[in-house]
Chains A and B, each alone.
Chain A
């Protein structure tokens, strides 16, 4: 009896359909698929001191903000998107010594798996950042592949958990609101723009210390402005609003800001200038036989408002440029003084030494905090009046 012979095309079709079946069964979903409603998307995380006074100093209160999808997306209603018990999110908290243990404890209260892949914010109370340290708290997050490098981190002057409970004034998700406040789109020059990825790079490098933005609770809403200096993984001190603006200029953060200066021709008048296009060049120079860190800052400004009935005048140019340059220079020098007071090299002076004067760096690096405080740093500022004038008269 002849055996039926399978044709090649039949075998090929069989293989093709088998492969198609495998692809349909696997590519259209996930292995051990988890439905969206079985996941609790953590949009923000906060670290605070535990509420009880007798708490162990190494413990912290871990809070997570989780959106409630059913209550989101409502543009109308009270304040947009709900309020009070109708908030479009919930906040859970627990006390722990390690982040993973805290997450495990939180998981016991929540019927969905906590998921950190969409976390936009990590907020750390200043006391916790001082005692436990930012580096220590972020260890869990830097090891989890799902956590994004663009997650925003901020140090909170106050209770971080309160910010998680905040209802944004403009209708959007609370964490997106805070995230926008901490991004360049906020347009604020006194706000330091950073994220998790940048923090990790600055934290790991020798000869530079990271800075994180500061957030504080106002009466009804949260406020940005100022920055926290992190030294050896822990909070070292604040930079004021103007010092933060100075740091942004020194670190080429591409900011636009306004300065009020006295009019050189009419001493009782004030001129508001809008300064932009800052460019800071960092160099190491030998000045009087001493290695000096020289920062040359160039920028442009425009007169945006006059307090009296005068407008831009050609005769003002040289003096106004000098006044604006001096104002900016004074602010930058104050920023440098503050960094040296704190002994935290937020300018990356050590990084430059390591790159361009490795021998000198080798001698200084073991005691860099103290060396940095005494290291000669000079700033030269030259601002140019752009003169893109719409109106000359008063």
Chain B
């Protein structure tokens, strides 16, 4: 089962969860949060983030209980064959559906700023090939690539956010949870808000590769807490710079934040292109880890030893799906479905599986 051996350190696992979670979602997160919670959107992001930290504890503990197996292997034993199979299919679908959205976001970012006329077949096609090639490698290589890329992306992202403080006005973050600004009826947006948080499946798939499985829960919680912190900080600064009304209207608020930075004293007067180039790394880590996990999970489900065959076989399907997400509205709707799936798995199946594992443990005693 394990071709890479126990090669991952706890830090690498934390970074893999970050690499999977931090991608395209963050670029639109403040707009969604502002649309539902107005000026208090950043507080809502913090609350959701902390809820996910709670789930991260469950996911980590669950993974620690089965240190030799992935969730695909032990879920049928806990849930029964049929429900276990259905759960596995949903779990793999969650991992897989992220990829077309990820590719679509990259396509849009590239078209917006780097290569305006570049067609889908070229941008998405080459990106998909790079994803498939990367995902065919061993887990330790993927962890190393992720380690490098996600750190660069987070560093540049934080630099942009800090630099944009020149336009920050704290009054934009008030009033707190005003009933005039809260639109809980926008259920779809509310679900979409959670899209950026669904990175927990990583830990339940990579636990057999962790050098010291007892550090899994700590690494998972650390990653989830860091994600919550980054998202909250980014959302608070975005809303503080633009105000919630303007934030709602902006499609790529992260890029606008970079555009708002005016540093005449520095060589790089404009930061938007710097952000885009580095954020492609963040997108790549999401796609890379996702593709790897899909290959691994499907391989275990259909008992194919070489996950690379599965990854490359999925390339045309993934390309077709990403190309069918024709515009912003379609891929945001798609991300809502992914978020819904993620919510069900995180808040229903993880606690259920954990509960069942505890019960099974007691029976054995």
Residues of A at the B interface (CB closer than 8 Å) are 15, 22, 26, 30-32, 145, 148-150, 195, 197-198, 200-201, 204-206, 348, 351-352, 354-356, 358, 362
User: How distant is the Cα of A233 from the Cα of B167 in the complex, in angstroms?
Assistant: 22
- B246→A355 contact, CB < 8 A: no
Tell me how far the C-beta of A356 lies from the nearest C-beta in chain B, rounded to whole angstroms: 7
Q: Which residues of A contact B112 (CB under 8 A)?
A: 145
- B259→A197 contact, CB < 8 A: yes
Tell me how far the C-beta of A115 lies from the nearest C-beta in chain B, rounded to whole angstroms: 11
Q: Which residues of A contact B171 (CB under 8 A)?
A: 348, 351-352, 355
- B175→A149 contact, CB < 8 A: no
User: How distant is the Cα of A195 from the Cα of B112 in the complex, in angstroms?
Assistant: 22
The residues in B between 50 and 70 inclusive whose CB is less than 8 angstroms from any CB of A are none
The residues in B between 180 and 233 inclusive whose CB is less than 8 angstroms from any CB of A are 180
Q: Which residues of B contact A197 (CB under 8 A)?
A: 167, 259-260
Q: Which residues of B contact A351 (CB under 8 A)?
A: 171
Interface residues on B, range: 20 to 34
For the complex of A and B, the 4 pairs showing the least CB-CB separation, nearest first, are A355-B174, A31-B118, A32-B117, A31-B115
User: How distant is the Cα of A356 from the Cα of B116 in the complex, in angstroms?
Assistant: 44
Having A204-B243, A358-B178, one finds 20 other A-B pairs with CB under 8 Å, namely A22-B126, A26-B126, A31-B119, A31-B122, A32-B117, A145-B112, A148-B259, A148-B270, A200-B246, A201-B167, A201-B241, A201-B243, A204-B242, A348-B171, A351-B171, A354-B174, A354-B175, A355-B171, A355-B174, A358-B175
Partner of A205, one of B126, B174, B243, B255: B243
Q: Which residues of A contact B249 (CB under 8 A)?
A: 204
User: How distant is the Cα of A293 from the Cα of B113 in the complex, in angstroms?
Assistant: 44
**A195 to chain B: closest residue by CB:** B262
Give the A-B contact count at a CB cut-off of 8 A.
Answer: 59
User: Can you list 6 A-B contacts (CB < 8 A)?
Assistant: A15-B133, A32-B118, A149-B260, A348-B171, A355-B171, A355-B174
Partner of B174, one of A145, A149, A200, A356: A356
- B246→A206 contact, CB < 8 A: no
Q: Which applies to chain A's interface (DSSP): helix, strand, loop or mixed?
A: helix
User: How distant is the Cα of A22 from the Cα of B130 in the complex, in angstroms?
Assistant: 12
What 1/0 mask marks residues of chain B from 248 to 271 whose CB sits below 8 Å from any chain A CB? 010000011001101000000010
Residues of B at the A interface (CB closer than 8 Å) are 39, 112-113, 115-119, 122, 126, 133, 167, 171, 174-175, 178, 180, 241-243, 245-246, 249, 255-256, 259-260, 262, 270
User: How distant is the Cα of A195 from the Cα of B115 in the complex, in angstroms?
Assistant: 27
- B256→A149 contact, CB < 8 A: yes
User: How distant is the Cα of A352 from the Cα of B39 in the complex, in angstroms?
Assistant: 13
Tell me how far the C-beta of B251 lies from the nearest C-beta in chain A, rounded to whole angstroms: 9
Tell me how far the C-beta of A202 lies from the nearest C-beta in chain B, rounded to whole angstroms: 9
Given contacts A204-B249, A355-B171, contact A362 B242 (CB under 8 A): no
Tell me how far the C-beta of A15 lies from the nearest C-beta in chain B, rounded to whole angstroms: 8
User: How distant is the Cα of A356 from the Cα of B174 in the complex, in angstroms?
Assistant: 8
- B115→A358 contact, CB < 8 A: no
User: How distant is the Cα of A305 from the Cα of B69 in the complex, in angstroms?
Assistant: 83
User: How distant is the Cα of A352 from the Cα of B178 in the complex, in angstroms?
Assistant: 14
User: How distant is the Cα of A200 from the Cα of B256 in the complex, in angstroms?
Assistant: 12
- B262→A150 contact, CB < 8 A: yes
**B269 to chain A: closest residue by CB:** A150
Tell me how far the C-beta of A259 lies from the nearest C-beta in chain B, rounded to whole angstroms: 28
Point out which of B113, B119, B171, B249 has the most chain A C-beta atoms below 10 A from its C-beta. Answer: B171
**A200 to chain B: closest residue by CB:** B246
User: How distant is the Cα of A164 from the Cα of B197 in the complex, in angstroms?
Assistant: 50
User: How distant is the Cα of A114 from the Cα of B161 in the complex, in angstroms?
Assistant: 32
User: How distant is the Cα of A22 from the Cα of B262 in the complex, in angstroms?
Assistant: 34
User: How distant is the Cα of A15 from the Cα of B130 in the complex, in angstroms?
Assistant: 11
Q: Which residues of A contact B270 (CB under 8 A)?
A: 148
Q: Which residues of A contact B167 (CB under 8 A)?
A: 197-198, 201
Q: Which residues of B contact A354 (CB under 8 A)?
A: 174-175, 178
- B243→A149 contact, CB < 8 A: no
- B122→A204 contact, CB < 8 A: no
Partner of A204, one of B39, B115, B178, B245: B245
**A208 to chain B: closest residue by CB:** B243
User: How distant is the Cα of A30 from the Cα of B110 in the complex, in angstroms?
Assistant: 11
User: How distant is the Cα of A306 from the Cα of B132 in the complex, in angstroms?
Assistant: 78
